[in-house]
Amino acid sequence: MKTKKNRMKKAERAEYVLQKLTQLYPNPPIPLDHTNEFTLLVAVLLSAQCTDLKVNEVTPALFKLADSASKMTKVPQEKILEIIRPCGLSPQKSKAIAGLSKILVDQYDGEVPADFAALESLPGVGHKTASVVMAQAFGVPAFPVDTHIHRLAQRWGLTNGKNVKQTEADLKKLFPESAWNKLHLQIIFYGREFCTARGCNGMVCEICRTCYPKRRTPKVTLKP
Q: What confidence score (pLDDT) does residue 222 get? A: 73
**CB proximity list for 147: less than 8 A, separation 6 or greater:** 164, 224
pLDDT at 5: 53
- List of residues 6+ apart from 204 with CB closer than 8 A: 195
Is residue 104 within a helix (H) or strand (E), and if so which, with residue range? helix 90-108
Catalytic: which of 2, 74, 95, 146? 146
DSSP state of 68: S
Angle at 47 between CA 159 and CA 198, to 5 degrees: 50
Task: State the pTM of this model.
Answer: 0.90
Would residue 102 show up in a list of annotated catalytic residues for this protein? no
Q: What is the pLDDT of residue 6?
A: 59
d(CA 38, CA 133): 9
**Is 223 noted as a catalytic residue in this protein?**
no
Domains with residue ranges and CATH for the chain: 10-28+143-211 (1.10.1670.10), 37-138 (1.10.340.30)
Contact call for residues 12 and 1 (beta carbons, < 8 A): yes
Task: Report pLDDT for 224.
Answer: 62
User: Cα 128 to chain center, whole Å?
Assistant: 7
Which positions ≥6 away from 73 have C-beta within 8 Å? Answer: 98, 101, 102, 105
What pLDDT is recorded for position 183?
Answer: 97
Q: What residues of the chain score a pLDDT lower than 50?
A: 1-4
The catalytic residue among 102, 128, 165, 223 is 128
How do residues 119-170 score in pLDDT, each as one tens digit? Answer: 999 999 999 999 999 999 999 999 999 888 999 999 999 999 888 999 999 9
For residues 119 and 200, what is the distance between their CA atoms, to the nearest angstrom? Answer: 35
Note the pLDDT of residue 4.
44
> What pLDDT score does 3 carry?
45
